[in-house]
């Protein structure tokens, strides 16, 4: 009884637990199986299901699924309504807002259909994809619709629809194409959920590009013929003279104080970049749920009254040719058990020693006979050891299993815990006779090593996917801008939001979870959207007779500035609705994406024009340089 306290029996000797292990079929049906198990336990124990305390990897996974689906169900409609209202306020046209909104809804439904008919289910990560596709569709749709409404001032609706497509197809294709590159870069991940997000995200972005470029011009062409006067009257697009004052002032500020502006913006990047080396990842239980959630309360209750809940499996392997007797092997097992118990973070250890009674004292018998009797007792107990899963006999030898328990909630660095444990386990092996050492090996397994490996993989995935996206998008920008230097210059405003956001996370010691990792590549792709729209119109304006870089920047502000602000505000606020989710990865993804969209807007409206107005902006001039 005392041996099982801190493992299966509570500290008061009265509370106990039931450990249920599911096979692969059970894991696939955990949503149905876990409630049924709870019903059976409650019936047998004469209690209510709500009074049961549940924990463990199966409960973690089930709670993640339930929380993510609940977030989508609860916040998808408010997010959609917010996006529609902001579209309506931005475009000042019910018809235009409805066309953009319905196109985004179609894209959402399309990606859900693709996921369903491909046989995949909505995981905790994929559930973020439909709102993200909606955001991308709204972003591209508002840009195209602004082109249409601007053209509507001087053209018939049918002609305006054609002009909308003519002016917008190139920057839209390039921007959504680079966004697809950002999602496709997630395919380099070593984690299957992130790779799946990369696959379906890329499909969703490409479908969005096709839908936006066909649905919006065609819809406005049809609606324009039927209701051309209404559309024209309700367009509500302000004339340049109404808004040029603010844009003129911003252009003058960036031109007259160009060096100061660039120093401030690049200085902020440099300051934030200091925190990048300190960026950490975490997939620990407390990074997934709010402290007052049911699962966190159950974890706290169980760890306080029963046992630490995170297992570290230590496997002691004796090769088939090992010459040690059963008693000698049990002695090695005892030394490993003792070394584990001496670790400060280990709360309890379960092994064959927990189940094997202490050998009786036999003072009158020779030591050889005592050893023979102990060996015989161990051999007789082997079937029970195997049944209890603390021993497995294979063709490769005997594998003895020790399970060390550490806290799931304590602020532990799992990497340090594993490192200290592996160092401590070397001492028992060094006490084995030299001729037998090569016949014995130790390894660790279980949830903690897996969590530690995933945390390392997350950071690696962030770097690899971001580098892949940067390389491909920079190459694309270089080709589009017809020059290596001009392509690199264009990328500065796209790197700006990523460096500042993730640098601040490092400085503030905010760990990245699995949702945060994906935002870097996705945000990079979205940031390129406004950059390409801005540069495309800047080049067009610069080719006008008598144009200077200053006049081209101002004209581009007037053409693209309102649409850039509208897309960032509508998409950012639409995503921020999910910040109220009780599932922390969804909430953090929404907040981080909204923050990145705001920073991307600042990069495209401040840093990019400042660079274009600086001497470096001459790279974009195709004729003899003109003064800015």
Number of independent structural domains in the chain: 3
> Are 486 and 338 found together in one domain?
no
The DSSP 8-state label assigned to residue 425 in this structure reads T
- 527 part of a folded domain: yes
- 105 part of a folded domain: yes
521, 598 contact by CB (below 8 A): no
pLDDT of residue 283: 67
- 468 part of a folded domain: no
Strand partners of residue 349: 404
Ramachandran area for residue 236 (φ above 0: left; ψ -120 to 50: alpha; else beta): left
> Are 121 and 245 found together in one domain?
yes
Q: Each residue of 320-333: pLDDT tens digit?
A: 988 888 888 889 99
> Are 169 and 88 found together in one domain?
yes
> Are 489 and 397 found together in one domain?
no
> Are 176 and 270 found together in one domain?
yes
Beta strands in 2-97 (DSSP E): none
- 476 part of a folded domain: no
- 299 part of a folded domain: no
Classify burial at 97, counting beta carbons within 10 Å of its beta carbon; exposed 0-12, middle 13-18, buried 19 or more: buried
> Are 323 and 444 found together in one domain?
yes
The neighbour count for residue 145, using CB atoms within 10 Å, is 32
Domain that holds residue 186: 60-288+481-620
Residue 393 — φ and ψ, nearest 5°? -100, 120
> Are 437 and 393 found together in one domain?
yes
How far does the chain reach from its first CA to its final CA, in angstroms?
Answer: 84
- 402 part of a folded domain: yes
Which residues lie below 8 Å from residue 29, measured CB to CB, with a gap of 6+? Answer: none
SS3 13: coil
Tokens standing for residue 403 = 């399970």
- 66 part of a folded domain: yes
pLDDT of residue 448: 66
Report the Cα 16 to chain-centroid distance in Å. 37
Query: Residue 401: which H helix or E strand, with range?
Result: strand 397-406
pLDDT of residue 455: 63
Give the whole-angstrom CA distance, residue 205 versus residue 211.
10
List the CATH number of the domain containing 319: 3.30.70.100
pLDDT below 50 — which residues of the chain?
225-241, 623-628
* pTM score of the predicted model: 0.76
> Are 70 and 41 found together in one domain?
no
Give the whole-angstrom CA distance, residue 216 versus residue 102.
10
Tokens standing for residue 173 = 């294709």
- 296 part of a folded domain: no
> Are 37 and 70 found together in one domain?
no
> Are 196 and 314 found together in one domain?
no
Question: In which residue are the tokens 């305006």 written?
Answer: 160
Tokens standing for residue 10 = 């509570």
> Are 331 and 194 found together in one domain?
no
User: CA separation (Å) from 182 to 115, 247, 337, 474?
Assistant: 19, 31, 49, 11
pLDDT of residue 569: 85
pLDDT of residue 238: 47
> Are 145 and 274 found together in one domain?
yes
């Amino acid at each position: 009884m005392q041996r099982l306290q801190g493992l299966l029996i509570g500290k008061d000797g009265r509370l106990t637990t039931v450990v249920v292990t599911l096979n692969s079929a059970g894991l696939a049906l955990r949503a149905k199986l876990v409630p049924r198990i709870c019903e059976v336990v409650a019936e047998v124990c004469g209690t209510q299901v709500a009074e049961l305390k549940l924990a463990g990897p199966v409960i973690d996974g089930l709670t993640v699924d339930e929380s993510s689906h609940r977030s989508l169900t609860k916040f998808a409609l408010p997010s959609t309504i917010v996006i529609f209202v902001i579209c309506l306020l931005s475009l000042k046209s019910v018809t235009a807002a409805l066309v953009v909104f319905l196109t985004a809804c179609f894209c959402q439904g399309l990606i859900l259909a693709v996921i369903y008919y491909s046989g995949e289910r909505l995981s905790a990560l994929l559930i973020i994809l439909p709102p993200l596709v909606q955001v991308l569709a709204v972003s591209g749709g508002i840009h195209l619709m602004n082109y249409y409404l601007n053209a509507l001032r001087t053209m018939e609706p049918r002609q305006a629809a054609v002009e909308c497509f003519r002016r917008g197809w190139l920057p839209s294709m390039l921007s959504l194409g680079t966004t697809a590159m950002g999602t496709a870069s997630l395919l380099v991940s070593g984690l299957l959920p992130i790779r799946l997000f990369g696959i379906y995200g890329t499909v969703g972005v490409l479908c969005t590009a096709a839908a936006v470029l066909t649905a919006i011009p065609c819809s406005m062409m049809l609606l324009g013929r039927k209701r051309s006067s209404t559309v024209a009257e309700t367009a509500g697009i302000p004339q340049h003279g109404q808004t040029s004052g603010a844009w003129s002032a911003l252009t003058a500020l960036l031109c007259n104080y160009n060096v100061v502006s660039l120093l401030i913006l690049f200085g902020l990047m440099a300051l934030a970049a200091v925190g990048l080396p300190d960026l950490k990842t975490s997939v620990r239980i407390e990074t997934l749920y709010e402290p007052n959630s049911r699962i966190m309360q159950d974890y706290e209750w169980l760890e306080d009254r029963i046992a630490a809940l995170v297992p570290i499996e230590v496997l002691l392997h004796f090769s088939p040719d090992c010459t040690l007797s059963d008693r000698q092997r049990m002695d090695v097992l005892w030394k490993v058990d003792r070394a584990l118990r001496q670790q400060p973070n280990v709360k309890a250890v379960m092994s064959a020693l927990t189940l094997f009674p202490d050998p009786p004292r036999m003072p009158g018998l020779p030591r050889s006979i005592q050893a023979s009797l102990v060996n015989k007792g161990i051999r007789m107990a082997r079937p029970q050891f195997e049944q209890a899963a603390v021993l497995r006999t294979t063709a490769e030898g005997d594998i003895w299993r020790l399970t060390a328990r550490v806290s799931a909630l304590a602020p532990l660095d799992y990497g340090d815990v594993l490192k200290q444990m592996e160092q401590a386990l070397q001492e028992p092996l060094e006490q084995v006779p030299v001729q037998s050492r090569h016949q014995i090996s130790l390894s660790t397994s279980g949830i903690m090593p897996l969590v530690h490996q995933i945390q390392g993989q997350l950071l690696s995935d962030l770097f690899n996917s971001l580098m892949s996206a940067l390389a491909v998008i920079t190459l694309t920008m270089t080709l589009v801008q017809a020059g290596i230097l001009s392509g690199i210059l264009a990328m500065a405003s796209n790197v700006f939001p990523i460096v500042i956001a993730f640098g601040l996370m490092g400085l503030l010691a905010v760990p990245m979870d699995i949702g945060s990792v994906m935002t870097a590549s996705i945000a990079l792709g979205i940031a390129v959207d406004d950059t390409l729209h801005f540069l495309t119109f800047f080049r067009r304006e610069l080719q006008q007779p008598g144009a200077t870089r200053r006049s081209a920047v101002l004209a581009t502000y007037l053409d693209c500035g309102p649409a850039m602000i509208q897309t960032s505000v509508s998409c950012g606020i639409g995503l921020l609705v999910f910040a109220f989710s009780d599932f922390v990865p969804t909430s953090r993804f929404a907040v981080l994406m909204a923050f990145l969209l705001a920073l991307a807007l600042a990069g495209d409206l401040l840093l990019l024009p400042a660079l274009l107005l600086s001497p470096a902006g001459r790279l974009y001039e195709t004729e003899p340089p003109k003064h800015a």
